[in-house]
Amino acid sequence: MSKIKPSKGAPYARILGVGGYRPTRVVPNEVILEKIDSSDEWIRSRSGIETRHWAGPEETVAAMSVEASGKALADAGIDASRIGAVVVSTVSHFSQTPAIATEIADKLGTDKAAAFDISAGCAGFGYGLTLAKGMIVEGSAEYVLVIGVERLSDLTDLEDRATAFLFGDGAGAVVVGPSQEPAIGPTVWGSEGDKAETIKQTVSWDRFRSGDVSDLPVDSEGKVKFPAITQEGQAVFRWAVFEMAKVAQQALDAAGISPDDLDVFIPHQANVRIIDSMVKTLKLPEHVTVARDIRTTGNTSAASIPLAMERLLATGDAKSGDTALVIGFGAGLVYAATVVTLP
Ligand SMILES: CC(C)(COP(=O)(O)OP(=O)(O)OC[C@H]1O[C@@H](n2cnc3c(N)ncnc32)[C@H](O)[C@@H]1OP(=O)(O)O)[C@@H](O)C(=O)NCCC(=O)NCCS
């Protein structure tokens, strides 16, 4: 017989507040065209992207996270001192250790909140949300801050016409806390490591240890290119369109929700054609509001879902209490989908 007392958590968890930060610099397609052979029309029609935001030197991963989190805390009406854990999902914090989450927890004024980073690519927000729900129901935190933040402009090869136009920077954050009724459904998540090669970093950091990088690709000025994200666009596109619609349907089924019950659909903002195809496959009715934040935000990976959520609520296209299906998918390959009640 175990001598350990059971931990006591809340019956359920919910998102209580959301906040976003978009860097001040807006970058139109014309800027992207300075380095690649393409056209505004091609980028808009193939990806849906018209503009994206790129962070300046002051808009660091930590600074953007603190801004977004401050707004999420204000939206939730929760003081930072009550946050028990800070979970930061990012692939663009460039120090291996320590995690950026501890600096963010400190800058926000939390009371020594547990803090850690996760690397789950564009599914990172869903992974963080799932962990937060677990902590709250299990009792190890009353309130959890989940942050998705990226400076993907640092990891973009502007001379690669397959990716140069895709990525943007920004941070989105939510406060997750206790609830008396279910407000975050079961997560359907997973990984397909056999497809790891389809989205990856061009060169591992490890290569720079030897000092001999003479065989690495160079830019137009002859300088060795900084590692960047590269992908097999068509393979990822097909996977997203065929496999992720199934995962989204599984998340609806797991939550006991039919497409008719849904108010809002917030898929990862990777390509507007992927979004449109999922809407069709899922047979979402006309009344469902669909996030197409990609047009002015680009693909911000872990930040894309909370940023899109924040914008829909800010513009009044979605409202507090709406039932929303969220699904993230990307590098790994990994995915996570769930149904949530909007804050
Ligand atoms: C990147 C993406 C927009 C490219 O669109 P696509 O329709 O698949 O484009 P393709 O790579 O098949 O190329 C189609 C044609 O456009 C050309 N092309 C590629 N990039 C181009 C560009 N930037 N501008 C103009 N033409 C381009 C290709 O050379 C090809 O020409 P061809 O038909 O003469 O051979 C799309 O594949 C995509 O969004 N993939 C998934 C992205 C994603 O979800 N990533 C997840 C990260 S989380």
**CB of 198 shorter than 6 A to ligand 1:** no
Where do runs of H (alpha helix) occur along the chain?
A: 29-32, 40-47, 61-76, 100-108, 124-138, 233-255, 272-281, 294-297, 304-315
- To the query of whether residue 122 is one of the catalytic residues in this protein, the response is yes
307-318 mean pLDDT:
98
CA–chain centroid gap for 17, Å, is: 16
Statement: residue 194 has pLDDT above 90? yes
Percent of the chain with pLDDT over 70: 100
2-20 mean pLDDT:
95
156-181 mean pLDDT:
97
The answer to whether 90 touches 170, Cβ cutoff 8 Å, is no
Provide the CATH topology of domain 188-200+227-341: Peroxisomal Thiolase; Chain A, domain 1 (3.40.47)
Identified catalytic residue from 29, 53, 93, 122: 122
**CB of 277 shorter than 6 A to ligand 1:** no
Statement: residue 210 has pLDDT above 80? no
pLDDT at 129: 98
The answer to whether 326 touches 126, Cβ cutoff 8 Å, is yes
Mutate to test the pocket of ligand 1, among 44, 155, 234 (most ligand atoms within 8 A of CB): 234
Statement: residue 33 has pLDDT above 90? yes
Q: Which atom of ligand 1 is nearest to the CA of 268?
A: 48
Domain 12-179 shares a fold with domain 188-200+227-341: yes
82-96 pLDDT, tens per residue?
999 999 999 999 998
229-273 pLDDT, tens per residue?
999 999 999 999 999 999 999 999 999 999 999 999 999 999 999
From the options 3.40.47.10, 1.20.120.330, 3.40.50.150, 3.30.1300.30, give the CATH code of 12-179.
3.40.47.10
177-186 mean pLDDT:
98
Q: How far away, in angstroms, is 46 Cα from ligand 1 center?
A: 7
**CB of 46 shorter than 6 A to ligand 1:** yes
Write down the mean pLDDT value for the chain: 96
Where exactly are the structural domains of the chain?
12-179, 188-200+227-341
**CB of 271 shorter than 6 A to ligand 1:** yes
- To the query of whether residue 268 is one of the catalytic residues in this protein, the response is yes
Q: Measured between alpha carbons, how far is 269 from 328 in angstroms, rounded to an integer?
A: 8
Q: Which atom of ligand 1 is nearest to the CA of 36?
A: 23
User: 323: number of CA atoms within 13 Å, CB side?
Assistant: 16
Percent of the chain with pLDDT over 90: 91
pTM of the model: 0.96
104-152 pLDDT, tens per residue?
999 999 999 999 999 999 999 999 999 999 999 999 999 999 999 999 9
pLDDT at 224: 86
Structure tokens at 340: 């949530």
Q: Which atom of ligand 1 is nearest to the CA of 47?
A: 3
Q: Measured between alpha carbons, how far is 299 from 233 in angstroms, rounded to an integer?
A: 13
**CB of 33 shorter than 6 A to ligand 1:** no
Spatial strand order of the sheet with 188-191 comes to 188-191, 334-341, 323-330, 264-267, 289-290
